[in-house]
A and B are shown apart, each in its own frame.
Chain A
Amino acid sequence: MIYVIDHKDSFTHNVVHQFSLFDDVECDDFSKIDKFKLNQASTIVFSPGPGSPKDYPTSSKIYKKLKGKKRIIGICLGFQQILFSEGASIIEQNKIYHGFQSEVLVNKSSKLFNTGQKFKVGRYHSLKLKEPFKAENFDITMRCVISGTAMSFENNIDKIYGFQFHPESFLTLNGKLFIKKILSA
């Protein structure tokens, strides 16, 4: 079972539907987490959401507790939430991407996607990862072709994955593929 932790976003249920193609999905608000479901789940997904990771200390707590024990996935804010819990700074961008389709490029540190491959993806983020960023076993694996902003990371040791873009958006072509790859990794 996949447990989606909802940060009160208006895209969370698109995420739920996309993950439902692969497994049973449960979804609860971040303030109403069910411990039983949390234990039962094989995968935890941190949803997109408004604000910044510092607004969701309970999600960071869950992350730290379950890191290495379960597969963990973060999307948009969820991506930032994981990196923030790993000590990263999440900062405002000069140019903001809401409802924007851009191209991302896979670099050679990716174990799941082919180096040099490009994808068209949908973006909804005000904030971004401040770089340089270093955490053990974490690699930035995709970047925006134009701005170079970090768009995805992989931690294949602990099975932790994140996308700054939205695989579930209609703006992301073949978004299913991203989820399939990280669930079967």
Chain B
Amino acid sequence: MTKNYLLNEINSSNKSFILYKSKKGFDLFSDFSKKIILNNKNINKFLKKKLKTRKKLKNTDLFIGFFGYEILNNLIGVKLPKQKSINFPKGIFYKPETKVSLKDNLFYKSNSDKKVDKNFKININQKTYTKIFNRFKKKIRSGDTYQIKICTKYKNKSKIDPLDFFCRLAKSNLAPEAFMIKDKNFSIISCSPENLITKNGLSVSTKPIAGTLRKTKNINKTKALNFFRNNIKETKEHNMIVDMERNDLSRICVPGSVRLKKEKSVEEYKDLYHYVSLISGKLKKNVKNIDIIKAMMPGGSVIGCPKINTLNLLNNQEKENRNIYTGSFGFIKFNGDMRFNIIIRSILNYKNISEISVASGVVIDSNAKHEFNENFIKAKALIDLYK
């Protein structure tokens, strides 16, 4: 079996598998010997478990999977009110026995005729969005939050071939934290651009994104950078996230070691430009992985600021469970190294219902119509896959 046919083989075998963007291409994880479905009871045990280390770490000596939004809230003591829920698992981790490295140009030809609906239903319309928006603006005036993200959800009924979707997405929108999971009764496809935790030994870093600009013919990377720099609203929003991520790293890092490595640069994607910073630090010696996860998750840039109060405000507002959205996907190696993203720009397909969630920020000078449209821009690259 050559690598070219590998994806066709594995997809038709009905085995569960995961693809995750690597530096050079994609890593394919399969042959799962363990599957741990997380809940509030076993998550602490899972995260505190001493992982057996061999002298030489095998490339499959890791757990790979995701934490949903709800379990990350619960982990830091934030409770969610009763919400509409599809009872999707709160988190799942897999122990792979096989890992294969693939190149960026994924080779896969779909031969299945799946039933795909082009139309999506949005859970809040512009009028409702504006109402929520104005309520949150009042909360900013009174100092209860400084920035808060309103989440909208697009849904439809579709039977999809997730690998076909992912390969097309990877072609049009090669994002540094892209991943897909195919399991028996669900699949996740994501072109997340955002890394939340990279931990190697004692060094840890995070790369928050705050600021989005739609691509047009007249804009290039330099012009995008100038746009962000001259746009006071985008700059303030970004500054806030930088200080917030510095704070979250400071919880677990040696005083004086937290540094802003890359301040406000621009990254280019298919439909948009992002405003990005990179912050790093050196971990305190006694810090455990569970401490890192509790300090950093859920990722601040997709919540707002300050974290706890803002989480409470938005949880009380949201009628539907976010499921995977703004959770984190990644892996924990047996030697303790970790890599986690923030799950955004994602499709969750569960029991043949597709859902795409997006969010955009309310700060004091944002405009409801603009933010509502920004949500659509973010969803567009994914909605286009259904055409």
Contacts and interface: CB of A to CB of B under 8 A. Distances in A.
A184 B236 CA distance: 32
Contacts of A11: 243-244, 247, 306
A96 B364 contact: yes
Interface string B128-171: 00000000000011111111000000000000000000000000
A100 B239 CA distance: 8
B145 A50 contact: yes
A100 B255 CA distance: 25
Contact of A51 (B143, B243, B246, B364): B143
B47 to A, nearest CB: 21
Contacts of A51: 142-144, 309
B235 interface: yes
A111 to B, nearest CB: 29
A77 B309 CA distance: 14
A61 B248 CA distance: 29
B305 interface: yes
Nearest to A9: B306
Contacts of A98: 140, 146-147, 236, 240, 363-364
B143 A127 contact: yes
A101 B258 CA distance: 21
A50 B144 contact: yes
B6 interface: no
Interface in B179-194: none
Interface in A141-171: 166, 169-171
A52 interface: yes
B250 A14 contact: yes
A21 B258 CA distance: 13
A99 interface: yes
Given A10-B300, A49-B306, A17 B237 contact: no
A14 B255 CA distance: 9
A14 B247 contact: yes
B72 interface: no
A165 B248 CA distance: 20
A177 to B, nearest CB: 16
A13 interface: yes
A124 B240 contact: yes
A122 B243 CA distance: 10
B28 interface: no
A125 B143 contact: yes
B87 to A, nearest CB: 31
Nearest to A95: B364
B255 to A, nearest CB: 4
Interface string B335-367: 000000000000000000000000000011000
A50 B307 CA distance: 10
A99 B237 contact: yes
Nearest to B251: A13
A51 B309 CA distance: 9
Given A10-B300, A10-B306, A98-B363, A170 B143 contact: no
A20 interface: yes
A166 B309 CA distance: 19
A122 B246 CA distance: 14
Nearest to A100: B236
B251 A126 contact: no
A170 B260 contact: yes
B146, B256, B260 pick with most chain A CB within 10 angstroms = B146
Given A17-B255, A17-B258, A98-B363, A10 B244 contact: yes
Contacts of A14: 243, 246-247, 250
A171 B140 contact: no
| 7 closest residue pairs by CB, A with B | A126-B143, A99-B239, A99-B236, A20-B255, A10-B306, A13-B250, A99-B240
Interface of B: 140-147, 232, 235-240, 242-244, 246-248, 250-251, 253, 255-256, 258, 260, 263, 300, 305-310, 363-364
7 contacts: A8-B306, A11-B244, A50-B306, A126-B140, A126-B141, A126-B143, A169-B239
